[in-house]
A = this chain, B = another copy of it.
Amino acid sequence: MKNKEVKDIKVPMKEHFGNYMVPVRDALEIFSGKWKIPIITALTFYETCGFKEMERIIEGITPKMLSKELKFLEENLLIVRKVEDTRPITVSYSITEYGKTCKSVMSELYSWGTEHRKKVFNIEGQVWDECK
């Protein structure tokens, strides 16, 4: 470090980004994991579903995971659970108006992800079958 200008000392991130990271983490907590986006997407499309119905729609999910994630999404006000007084009693899960605001994030993820796939794999399309 002789004939180089003195490097500016870089401070730990909290001093710059403490306030920035927290909401980003909050958002990520909602959207990450294997099943949350499929559930939100299904309910965005169908508006309302029963439990077993979702088990069939979201292929591969186990009742344990479905139950857990539905609780999580309900706690976060994105969906509502309603017990219907039918015979036999059924339970309906619906997306809330607030839940629909997820669309903006998901479409951003979608378009960035699409470009990323092109960039990294040089893939333009028509190869979806290979991706499970």
Which A residues are closer than 8 A to B by beta carbons?
10-14, 16-28, 30-32, 37-38, 41-42, 45-46, 49, 53, 56-59, 76-77, 98, 101-102, 104-106, 108-117, 119-120, 128, 131
Least CB distance, A96 to chain B, in whole angstroms: 10
Q: Are A22 and B131 in contact (CB under 8 A)?
A: yes
Q: Are A27 and B131 in contact (CB under 8 A)?
A: no
Residue in chain B with minimal CB distance to A26: B113
Q: How far is the CA of A26 from the CA of B37 in the complex (A)?
A: 13
Q: How far is the CA of A53 from the CA of B112 in the complex (A)?
A: 29
Q: Supply 12 A–B pairs (Cβ within 8 Å), ascending by A.
A: A10-B49, A12-B59, A13-B42, A13-B57, A19-B128, A23-B110, A23-B111, A27-B109, A30-B116, A31-B32, A32-B32, A77-B119
Residue in chain B with minimal CB distance to A2: B87
Q: Are A32 and B38 in contact (CB under 8 A)?
A: no
Least CB distance, A103 to chain B, in whole angstroms: 10
- A37 touches which of B21, B59, B110, B111 (Cβ 8 Å): B21
Least CB distance, A43 to chain B, in whole angstroms: 11
Known: A13-B41, A13-B59, A21-B41. A105 touches B112 (CB 8 A): yes
Residue in chain B with minimal CB distance to A29: B113
